[in-house]
Amino acid sequence: MRADVAIIGAGPAGLALAAALKGSGLEVTLIERSAEASLATPGFDGREIALTHRSQAILRDLGAWERLAPAEIAPLAEARVLNGAFPLALRFAPPASGEPLGRLVPNHAIRRALFDTVAGQAGARLMAGRAVTDLAFAPGEARVRLEGGEEIAAALVVAADSRFSAARRRAGIGAEVLDFGRSMIVCRMAHERPHGATATEWFGHGQTIAMLPLNGEASSAVLTLRPDETERMLTLDAGAFGAEVTRRYAGRLGAMRLISTRHAYPLVAVYAHRFAARRFALLGDAAVGMHPVTAHGFNFGLAGAALLAAEVKRALARGLDPGGSAALSYYASAHRRATLPLYLATNAIARLYGDDRAAARLARAALISAGAMLPPIRRAIVARLMDARPALSAG
C-alpha cells in the first residue's frame, strides 16, 4: 500500500495536518489505533481548550470552525492569577478592541469538527483500529508496518500519536520528559455566582485550581493535586465532590455542583530532541507536550500542522520531494523557535508555583506585584495569550 504522507495518530494535530494538505494532490493516509466510531463521535474528556486568535483563524481556514456549535464556544474576557492569600491579583485583559482574550472550546468538539472536515476529503484515507508495530527508513521512502504485517510505503511519515509517542521512539528520537509529580482532575461545575467570563488560576498551598468560564453559570474546573489526593477526590460521590471543590476554591463562586464526568491526567511535559529526521516529522504533543498552565499546547499543535503543510506544499511547488530534507529542516527549526521559549518559561512557572516553600511563596507574590504594577509586562503577556498573528497559509 502506498501513500505520499502517512500520519500516525488521528487526534487534532494529525487531522489538522490532513485537512491542511487538502488540494495539494498528495495521497494522505491517517493511521489510528482507536476505532472509527470514537473518532467520529468522541466522548467528553474533560478538557476545554483556550484557543488563541491565530488558532481560531487556522480552524476557519481548514473549514472546521464553522462545524462547531455556537453553544460550544465560550468567550474568555479576562484572566486572573492568584497566589495563596496574597491580596493582589495579576489580571490580564484584552485591549479595547471588542475581541476577547481567546475562546474556550471543548476538546472533543474540536476533534469531532476536524474529523468531519477530513471525512470524505479527496485524497485522504483513514485506517482506524490499526496499531503501528514498526518503522523503517530508506533514502527513497519510509515504511510503516501495521499489526498483522501490512505495510504502507510513504514519502513522509508524520508522528502525531501523543506526548508518549511510540513512533518517535521507533524513529530513534529521544525527548526531554519532565514529570511534575502531580495529576490534574478536569470536569465541569455549575455554581451560584457568575464568573464574568473570567478565567482564574489560584495557586494555593498544596493545590492549584483553575476555573475556566463556560457559557451560562458553569465553569471547567482544573484541579492539580498530588496523586494520592487525586485518587481520593475521584472516589467521592458527586455531592461530596462538589462540596470539596467549593471548599478548596474558598467559595469564590458560591456553592458548586458537579455536572459532568471527571477525568484525571498525569502532569508530564515533553520536548523532543529533534522535530524531524529523514522522511519523518513530529507533530503536536509528540513534538511538544506542554504543562497546561499557559494553555498553549493545543495551539502549538495547530500552528505546527499549518507550518508543516505549508512547507510540504512549498516543496511540491518547487518540484522538490515533499519528504525531503529541505521542507523538514525548515519546519523543524521554525517550530522550535516558536515553541522552545514558551516551553521553558512554562516549566519555570510550573515549578515556581508548584513549590510551597516560604521562599517560593514570596517570589510568587513579588512577581504578581511586579506584573500588577507594570502595564508593559501585562501587555506583553496579553499579546502572547491572544496570539493574533494571521494564520500561516498552507496554500
Residue with cell 506585584: 369
Q: Give CA–CA dist 162/51, Å, rounded.
A: 19
pLDDT, tens digit (0-9, with 9 covering 90-100), for 68-97: 999 999 999 988 877 655 445 566 676 666
Q: Give CA–CA dist 194/36, Å, rounded.
A: 39
pLDDT, tens digit (0-9, with 9 covering 90-100), for 170-201: 999 999 999 989 999 999 999 999 999 999 98
Residue 380: pLDDT band with limits 50, 70, 90: low
Chain mean pLDDT for the chain = 88
Per-residue confidence (pLDDT) for residue 96, from 0 to 100:
66
Q: Give CA–CA dist 308/376, Å, rounded.
A: 33
Residues above pLDDT 90, as percent of the chain = 71
Residue 6: pLDDT band with limits 50, 70, 90: very high
Per-residue confidence (pLDDT) for residue 325, from 0 to 100:
87
Nearest to 199 by CA among 209, 212, 186, 208: 212
Instruction: List, as one string, the DSSP characters of 214-250.
Output: -SSSEEEEEEEE-HHHHHHHHHS-HHHHHHHHHHHTT
Q: Give CA–CA dist 33/167, Å, rounded.
A: 12
Q: Domains in the chain and their CATH numbers? A: 2-67+104-177+270-352 (3.50.50.60)
Per-residue confidence (pLDDT) for residue 382, from 0 to 100:
47
pTM for this prediction: 0.89
Q: Kindly state the cell numbers that stand for 349.
A: 512557572
Window from 192-201, 214-223, 360-369 with minimum mean pLDDT? 360-369
Per-residue confidence (pLDDT) for residue 394, from 0 to 100:
41
**What mean pLDDT comes out for the span 333-354?**
81
Selected residue with higher pLDDT from 377 and 42: 42
Per-residue confidence (pLDDT) for residue 369, from 0 to 100:
54
Q: Kindly state the cell numbers that stand for 183.
A: 495529576
